[in-house]
Structure 1
Amino acid sequence: MTAGPVLQPAGIAHVEVLAALHGASFAEAWTVETMVGLLDGNGSFAFIATNPDPVGFVIARLTVGEGEILSIGVLPSARGTGIGRALLSAVTRRMAGQGAEMLFLEVAETNQAARALYQGFGFVPVGRRKNYYDNPDGTHDDAIVMRRDLFV
């Protein structure tokens, strides 16, 4: 029996690992500078999942009772192993513990695997942002805005 991922809080000291994980998870990678800017803000936090090496991350922020997942990613080789769900659980617990009433995220309309994960975790579609994501082939995907209420 193998152990599940270990989640650890991440901060400015982890920006290189976060940027590497983001670059390996998405076509358009966020830079170290982007990570510093995100984590340097008030209310922002991150987790890194290891198994035993880094395999996933989540970056989120809390503002006035609302949480937002800014980015969440799992290495392609580790997808489908429960790491995404573990990261969502960690963010949800932290947000609820800090008084957030709802949690938002955006996902590409064409990313069916991620949408299924989020819906299975209680997120519901609440909006759409047209042509939000740029694809490497020059096309664009709409973003589906999803919300999960934390206190019902």
Structure 2
Amino acid sequence: MSAILQEATINLRPMQETDIDAVMEIENATYPFPWTAGIMRDCLRVGYCCWLAEQDEQIVGYSIMSIGAGESHLLNICVDRDWQRQGVASRLLKHMLNLAKRHGAEVCLLEVRPSNLSAIELYEKIGFSEVGRRKSYYPAKNGHEDALILACPLLDYTE
């Protein structure tokens, strides 16, 4: 008897307003200081690049990015805890960078908590490097935490 394991197929698609409840479940379960549903709706309303990762029509991750004036800004990338470390964030991130490049962005910027070592590792593996720091940027249990500013040049970026 043999068993064939089937790799999960992750599909990417644009986020819609009807997805916000499912996105908020992941957001609230993952972050101690989550975005609100209103912020998510505003991102859709103003035309930010908002994409989902799905497996069998279940949302397992999402990403939000703004693009303008030759640069992109990755605002949020989040993966359901049950799907972390399975390539979902990497797939979303590469997709967003390709979108940014196609829309004429020359660089992608993002902020990340210095304590988020797994995210920093992913970003560096993809081609991001630290270009600055924002003091007391993120709320934290005991005050605030700085943000590292990371940048990835897109002119020569290929997945």
User: Of 11, 24, 27, which aligns to 1:22?
Assistant: 27
Aligned to 2:39, what secondary structure does the other structure show? helix
Q: How far, CA to CA, are the matches of 1:113 and 1:95 in structure 2?
A: 23
Is 1:12–2:32 an aligned residue pair? no
Identity of aligned residues (%): 29
Q: How many Å apart are 1:125 and its aligned residue? A: 0.4
* CA contact 1:11–1:45 (8 Å) conserved in 2: no
* CA contact 2:63–2:92 (8 Å) conserved in 1: yes
Q: How far, CA to CA, are the matches of 1:45 and 1:11 in structure 2?
A: 11
Q: How far, CA to CA, are the matches of 1:25 and 1:4 in structure 2?
A: 22
Partner of 2:60: 55
Is 1:141–2:145 an aligned residue pair? yes
Q: Deviations over 1:25-84 (max 9, x none)?
A: 211121211111122114x12111112321111011101111011100111121100000
Q: How far, CA to CA, are the matches of 1:66 and 1:20 in structure 2?
A: 30
Q: Provide the TM-score with structure 2 as the length reference.
A: 0.88
* CA contact 2:43–2:50 (8 Å) conserved in 1: no
State which structure, 1 or 2, has the greater radius of gyration over its C-alpha atoms: 2
Q: Output the aligned Cα RMSD.
A: 1.4
Q: Report how many residues are paired.
A: 150
Runs of 4+ in 1 over 3 A off after TM superposition: none
Q: Provide the TM-score with structure 1 as the length reference.
A: 0.92
Partner of 2:98: 93
